[in-house]
Structure 1
Amino acid sequence: MSISAAAPVSNGALWTGRVLSAIVVLFMIFDGVIKLPPLDIVTQTMTELGWPADANIARLLGIIGLISTALYALPRTSVLGAMLLTAYMGGAISTHVRIGNPLFSHTLFGVYLGVILWGGLYLRDARVRALIPFSR
């Protein structure tokens, strides 16, 4: 299926997609940046989640999140970025399941973010609409 087979979207839908994507990008930038310096709150939270209280592990997770976010934000690599961020969210979801955190507020937060992430990409990228045709 070619990209031209994707249904065009209105300007309103395109801007909605951009706003949804911007929400994800801004959240992930915040999430990644706070993991770079050795902040006590980050290492304490990681310990509560069952991760070692190691600033280097937090930094590595922050870098992975920031690189994936940058790939998502760039139009040419947005689909790759979306896949990497989906995997990142999967890790977060499994961490919350493993320690028994509340379902709707903690465990499913990664699912909510993933829906916003892919919804925004679907509305702003004809390639994704061509791959996932909800209507004919």
Structure 2
Amino acid sequence: MTATTAPDTVRQGDTPAAMRWTGWALSGLFALFMLIDIGIKLAGVPQVAQTLAPLGWTLDRAEPIAPIELLALLLYLFPRTAVLGAILLTGVMGGAVATHMRVGDPLFSHVLFGVYLGLFAWGGLWLRDARLRALTPWRA
């Protein structure tokens, strides 16, 4: 039987460099996607309105989501608040999954896209944060 280290005794320095860099790479890809998504919503790009219409959303209803996403993303990118940011972003992704499911979009390309983004966000965070790994260990 192996003992797990309590989360309060784990330090950030306990993460191997390769794992930490891989985590930041995944988190960076996720953040880049989110920044583009937030930017096009705030800029009012016409294609956004065209994409939202079949989902039952209008641009004026989607625009307030962008600042919420931005706040959650900023929280996610700062190590001290990363878990809170990930939780908030998971809520946003859950709304996207529910919206695509409601209109009958294809499962793997549309409905589960929010799940894929969530895996990038949480996977990156899990790889770069030893304290999170201590809370959610993989057992043999």
TM-score by length of 2: 0.88
Alignment of 1:1-136 (within 5 A): 1-5=6-10, 8-51=14-57, 53=58, 55-135=59-139
* Identity across matched positions, percent: 49
Structure 2 runs not aligned, ≥5 long: 1-5
Looking at structure 2, the residues matched to 76 and 5 of structure 1 have their Cα atoms a distance apart, in angstroms, of 14
Looking at structure 2, the residues matched to 121 and 129 of structure 1 have their Cα atoms a distance apart, in angstroms, of 9
Across the aligned residues of Structure 1 and Structure 2, the Cα RMSD in angstroms comes to 1.8
Q: What residue in structure 1 maps to residue 3 of structure 2?
A: none
Amino acid at match of 1:70: L
2:10–2:131 Cα contact (<8 Å) kept: no
Looking at structure 1, the residues matched to 33 and 60 of structure 2 have their Cα atoms a distance apart, in angstroms, of 21
Looking at structure 1, the residues matched to 26 and 105 of structure 2 have their Cα atoms a distance apart, in angstroms, of 26
1:14–1:124 Cα contact (<8 Å) kept: yes
Looking at structure 2, the residues matched to 75 and 6 of structure 1 have their Cα atoms a distance apart, in angstroms, of 12
- 1:6 offset after TM fit, Å? 7.6
TM-score by length of 1: 0.90
Query: What is the aligned length?
Result: 134
Amino acid at match of 1:57: R
1:21–1:120 Cα contact (<8 Å) kept: yes
1:72–1:81 Cα contact (<8 Å) kept: yes
2:97–2:112 Cα contact (<8 Å) kept: yes
